[in-house]
Structure 1
Amino acid sequence: ARAFRTEDVFISLQEPSLYTVKAILILDNDGDRLFAKYYDDTYPSVKEQKAFEKNIFNKTHRTDSEIALLEGLTVVYKSSIDLYFYVIGSSYENELMLMTVLNCLFDSLSQMLRKNVEKRALLENMEGLFLAVDEIVDGGVILESDPQQVVHRVALRGEDVPLTEQTVSQVLQSAKEQIKWSLLR
């Protein structure tokens, strides 16, 4: 970043960057973390992350606005029943870009859960949440903003998941099938 002096006014120019998103958070109605993915080292320790999450929740959970500036960061957020969704970027980041990520995540989850986005339904489909977030943002770079595409890709990835990424229930079901077929031989 460079600063130019123009008649006692400082203008700071930021280099353009694809690294738009610093974090994506989902907190419950008590401000406790359900999901958090940080894409840089602004808050390197879990203790610092949790303190930031409590601060952000305390500043936003009673307001109707959608954008906040907090600790030098731009925060866009949305609530649904008993959940609070946050997308965080730097202070100079375009709020519309961050809001696009937030809306894509929320709309994708709405379609995947086929009902209201609430804590219980989200906890039952955490693997879908992880896949959706990975489809939308990678390393802070926005990859997708169309919820239809995200849902489609999550469905495709869910059908053909390698063994290392399968859930415990999928592995157990596969093992049961293999045992059943080995006994029937």
Structure 2
Amino acid sequence: EITLLDGATCVYRNVSDVFLYVIGDVLENELILVSALNCLYESISQILKRCVEKKTVLDNLDLIFLAVDELCNSGILMECDSTALVGRVGTRTEDIPLGEQTVAQAIQNAKEQIKLSLMK
């Protein structure tokens, strides 16, 4: 959806109970804004493993903010490829299944869990 609102061009997308907005100047090309919105949605969808809901968005807000930061810088669109964007943002190692972790990641996770259990 594209709307003009108070001298700004606004494109938005509703996914479940989450609304995503990209806002640009009134003279901004709507296709570029839609491209940025699609990249943002696809990136968030990949980061959240296709579960774009309010709770998962709030639980992973740090990664979503990183994705937005990688998407644009001072209003300049930096990346339109969602795969490259997700690659830069990365994921938390505790979210990666144990079989897909490297040995170093598995050892690091084990150390952190031992530290947490000793602190209790």
TM-score range, shorter chain: 0.7 to 0.9
Q: Highest Rg: 1 or 2?
A: 1
- RMSD, aligned CA: 2.2
Structure-2 residue corresponding to 1:136: 71
1:79 is paired with a residue whose SS is strand
Matches within 5 A, 1:1-185: 66-155=1-90, 173=112, 176=115
Q: Which structure dedicates a bigger proportion of its chain to helix?
A: 2
> In structure 1, how many angstroms separate the alpha carbons of the residues matched to 2:21 and 2:44?
14
How many residue pairs get matched? 100
% identical aligned pairs: 45
Query: Structure 1, unaligned stretches of length 5 or more?
Result: 1-65, 160-172, 181-185
What's the CA shift for 1:73?
0.6
SS of the residue corresponding to residue 90 of structure 2 reads: helix
Q: Which amino acid aligns with 1:124?
A: D
**TM-score, normalised relative to structure 1:** 0.50
Q: Deviations over 1:76-135 (max 9, x none)?
A: 010001011110001110000111111101000101111231101101111110110011
Structure 1 stretches of 4+ with a deviation exceeding 4 A read none
- For 2:79 and 2:50, the matched residues in 1 are separated by 22
Q: Look up the SS of the partner of 2:80 in the other structure.
A: coil
Structure with greater strand percent? 1
Distance 1:138 1:69 in 2: 23
Which residue identity does 1:146 align to in structure 2?
A: D
Please report the TM-score for the alignment, with normalisation by the length of structure 2. Answer: 0.75
Query: Take 1:69 and 1:84, find their aligned partners in 2: how far apart are those partners?
Result: 17
